[in-house]
Amino acid sequence: MATQNINVTSTNPVDFVQKLLELGAKGATLKERTCPRLKGLPYAAELVLEITGSDELKAAPGVNAIPVPMAIKVYSKEELEAMDWDTFRSAVQSKGVKGRQREVMTVKYLQAVESGTDVVEDEE
């Protein structure tokens, strides 16, 4: 499944709440480290939803479906080992991993993915 960011906006408070309830029933949650905008117009909230690919969200009024960029894709150890050097470096840089030793970089990338944080790389 992929993660889908959803921006819900509306100038009508009733429509805004109804859209939030509808998306919440489908499993959407408030995106971490965000706060809904409830003062002033338009009302806005950023949600996150696990999807398999839904065209109905793209067509819904007041909703802008934004796919997660490919750089955020999580790779397994085997996938990383199968990549050529340039592709590998681009993939691990999405988690802040840099360096020259492929094995060390792979371990740091997998640790960053598991912990859900970005790595601050030490100088080698």
| Segments making up each domain of the chain, as ranges | 2-68, 71-115
Residue 73 pLDDT greater than 90, yes or no: no
Q: What sign for the dihedral angle of Cα 12, 17, 22, 23?
A: positive
Residue 22 pLDDT greater than 80, yes or no: yes
User: In DSSP terms, which residues pair with 29 in a beta bridge?
Assistant: 48
Q: What sign for the dihedral angle of Cα 90, 92, 93, 94?
A: positive
Going by pLDDT thresholds of 50, 70 and 90, the confidence category of residue 30 is: very high
The pTM of this model reads: 0.45
* pLDDT confidence of residue 11: 85
Half-sphere exposure of 36 (CA within 13 A, CB side): 16
* pLDDT confidence of residue 57: 57
Q: Give phi and psi for 58, each to the nearest 5.
A: -65, -30
Average pLDDT score over residue span 65-82: 70
Report the alpha-carbon angle 58-62-66, nearest 5. Answer: 45
Residue 53 pLDDT greater than 60, yes or no: no
Question: CA-to-CA distance for 89 and 12, rounded, in angstroms?
Answer: 46
* pLDDT confidence of residue 105: 93
Domain 2-68 carries which CATH code?
3.30.70
The four Cα atoms 30, 34, 40, 44 give a dihedral, to 10 degrees, of -40
